Amino acid sequence: MKKIKLSARLQTLADNIDNNASVADIGTDHGYLPIYLAQTEAVKKIAASDISAASLQSARRFASEYNVTEKITFINASGLEGISVHDFDTIVIAGMGGETIIEILSNTPRIKQQKIKFILQPQSKLDLLSRFLYDNEYKIKSTQRLEDKGKRYVITVAEI
């Protein structure tokens, strides 16, 4: 089987996902993270969600190339719309602005009724996201800094 190789940024996201987790990747883009998780078989459920139908089609195409299409649920939706938070214990939101991540979390009040692990990687406005998490009583479990292809990233793991 052809194996996918992740960038350092995506590998760090993957490394923060617990074995046997149920994972929703919000803003999946090309679906590399869900493909990797499907190949490792370390998680029990995977959803790849994106607001862009074209991005989701690209994710399906790549999943097909790696023979894991049937292991991933593809959802064309904005943010956490279309995601039943009762079905997932881990939510990854990465590669978008901090203000967009805040909007996604703010528009889904039902997430506060579940114990969910969030793996967040904003491309900008880290200070605003950090403030939002603090003000809304998210528990910060870890913060990791890394460099990938000359860009710096911060990945925050939080729980509610």
* Confidence at residue 112, expressed as pLDDT on a 0 to 100 scale: 65
Inter-residue contact 157 to 13 (CB < 8 Å): no
Q: Which fold has domain 8-159?
A: Rossmann fold (3.40.50)
Inter-residue contact 58 to 34 (CB < 8 Å): no
Name the DSSP letter for residue 63.
H
| Mean pLDDT on 34-62 | 97
**β-sheet bridge partners, residue 73:** 47
Sequence spans of domains, the chain? 8-159
Three-state secondary structure call for residue 151: strand
* Confidence at residue 110, expressed as pLDDT on a 0 to 100 scale: 64
Q: What is the CA angle 15-50-55, rounded to 5?
A: 100
Q: In this predicted model, what pLDDT tens digit does every residue of 5-46 receive, in sequence order?
A: 999 999 999 999 999 999 999 999 999 999 999 999 999 999
Q: In what order do the strands lie in the sheet with 45-50?
A: 73-76, 45-50, 22-26, 90-96, 117-122, 151-159, 139-148
Q: Which residues of 128-143 are buried (b: 16+ CB within 10 A; e: fewer)?
A: ebbebbeeeebeeeee
Residue reference for tokens 């000359």: 150
Q: In this predicted model, what pLDDT tens digit does every residue of 81-140 receive, in sequence order?
A: 988 878 999 999 999 999 999 999 998 766 666 789 999 999 999 999 999 999 999 999
* Predicted structure pTM score: 0.95
Taking the C-alpha atoms of residue 80 and residue 49, their distance in angstroms, rounded to an integer, is 8
Q: How confident is the model at residue 160 (pLDDT cuts 50, 70, 90)?
A: confident
